[in-house]
Every structure is written in C-alpha cells, then in structure tokens.
Amino acid sequence: MNRLISRCVLALSASAILSNTVMAADAASCQNVRMGVVNWTDVIATSAMTQVLLDGLGYKTKQTSASQQIIFAGIRDQRLDLFLGYWNPLMTQTITPFVDAKQVKVLDKPSLEDARATLAVPTYLADKGLKTFADIAKFEKELGGKIYGIEPGSGANTQIKAMIAKNQFGLGKFQLVESSEAGMLAAVDRAVRRKEAVVFFGWAPHPMNVNVAMTYLTGSDGALGPNEGMATVWTVTAPTYAEQCPNVHKLLTNLTFTAADESRMMQPLLDHKDAIESARQWLKDHPQDQARWLEGVTTFDGKPAATNLQLTSQ
C-alpha cells in the first residue's frame, strides 16, 4: 500500500511539473512581439539577440526603428511592447513623464551595469591638455567651435545643448553638430586620421573604445550624468506586460550583459555584418550565455527553451 501511495505521489508530482511547464507558455496575444529600436549599435546588437532568441522559441518578432521619444510614445499607445535601450541617466529626462504617468514600466534590474557615456577626445588631444570639460573652451579655435553629437532629439544632445545655452564651462560660442552615430564616428575617424582636434560624444560599450585611442573627459559636474558619465542600461515594457506575457518577461529579465561582451557583439555590425546572423553566431559560440539567458524560459508552446531553441535561419 505504501509503495502504491508513493507511486501515486510521484505521478502527481510529475504531472504538476509538466502542467507548470505547459502553463508557462504565454497567451496567444503574446506571440507577436513588437520591439522599438533606436539606431545605436549597442541597442541594435542586443535587440537582434533578443529577436533571435524569441523567434527561435516560436515567437514572431518585429522591430521598429525610431527615436527614443517615439518609442516611449509607441509603448504608451500600445503600438510597441518593449525597448532594450533605456540609458540612464541620458534618457531619464525623456522617459520620466511616461514613467510618472504609468504608461511604461522599467524592469527591476538593469541589463547593463558598467556603461559610460560622456564627452571624449582622441588621446593625442588629451595629451595636449584637453582633459576636462573646462578645457574645451581653451581649444575653441582648434576645435572649430564644434562638439560632435548623435541624432537630433537624443538625451545626450539635449544635455549638451543645455550646457551651450547656459554657457556652462565657457561653451556658449560652441555649436553642437547633430548627426547619426555613424555620421559622428565618420567625423571622428576623419579627424583622427588627420591628427586634428575633435570633441565628441563617446560611450561604452562600443567598439570605438578599441578602434580609437580615446580619453573620456572629467570635471563634468554632472552635466551628462553623475560619476563622470557612468551609466546603466534598462529594458522598458508596456505597464502590464509582465503579467500578460510572463515568459517573454522572464527572458527579458535574464538578458544581462557586460560592456566588454557587448562591444564584441557590436564589432561585426560595424564591419557591415547582418545583426541577426551575428546574434545567431554569438549564441552558437557562447553556449554559456545561451544557457543563462534561457534559464526558466519556455518556447511559445510551453516546451523547455534550453532544449528546443531553433537557431537555423527562417
């Protein structure tokens, strides 16, 4: 009798485990995942990684490239579900109204803890004495009165414009050159090849930190965020997404990175490789990352993700 009872208990336990696995699958409405992506190489790389994982688990992912303001508004208006590129503090001013109105939700932990974003110069210029924000004005003539930023409307550009408007650090006569990430990096590359003076908005993770001998400026007085531009990166979703789509939310929670690894993920993209194919290759070459990211996650139809992920091209 005791053996019979034990067998029944084991059978019920196995049934419960199987039931929990199946129940982990998301509702049908969650199968289509709509991601917002800003045109920054780090966000493109992590978004591609997320898409490859989701598509490989049976979801149907669509990316929409837009500015951060449009992405947050898209989540608010239920046209987008998530965004992997909220840089804090650079985007904090932009996202705060949406957070305060409970129109978007920031995950409980960052996806990247060791990021940095502030003004930088080629190291040969730092060696000449341009090492702090206060030094920029001293090199106005050599710099042509220009600071090179990224795309219009970005948090970084807004903060740089505020410094210029307030004549902070004596920058009142300077002009912010707004461009894309690629456009800014092309200008920096051109200046470096000619050994010319240039001040630009730099950040890590990014291969620029390897490809250019660069120095981040200090003495910012918090103008581009505290701790001389140290930053964190967070994932943002619709307010009730965790409750509606717990399996996707679990994957998003698992997706954490380091600046060093992200920089390596980004390099193929700067070499004009396809972001999706590069993400697939990373997962094949780094099984430990794949295992970590898929822990506790299932396929869309409720099977264990670790043994059912499909990485073949669709």
Per-domain boundaries in the chain: 30-114+231-295, 116-230
pLDDT tens column, 105-119: 999 999 999 999 999
What's phi and psi for 122, nearest 5 deg? -60, 145
* Three-state secondary structure call for residue 102: coil
pLDDT of 177 reads 98
According to DSSP, residue 292 is labeled H
* Three-state secondary structure call for residue 168: helix
Summary mean pLDDT of the chain = 91
Q: Fold match between 30-114+231-295 and 116-230?
A: yes
Per-residue pLDDT for 296 more than 80? yes
272 backbone φψ class: left, alpha, beta (φ>0; ψ -120 to 50):
left
What's phi and psi for 144, nearest 5 deg? 70, 20
Joined together, the tokens standing for residue 265 give: 């993920």
pLDDT tens column, 229-239: 999 999 999 99
* Size of the chain, expressed as the number of residues it contains: 314
Rounded CA-CA distance 154/141 in Å is 27
CA 308 to chain centre: 26
- Domain with residues 30-114+231-295, CATH architecture: 3-Layer(aba) Sandwich (3.40)
CATH T-level assignment (fold) for domain 116-230: D-Maltodextrin-Binding Protein; domain 2 (3.40.190)
Is the distance from CB of 170 to CB of 199 less than 8 angstroms? no
Q: What does the angle CA 229 – CA 234 – CA 236 come to, to the nearest 5 degrees? A: 135
pLDDT tens column, 51-70: 999 999 999 999 999 999 99
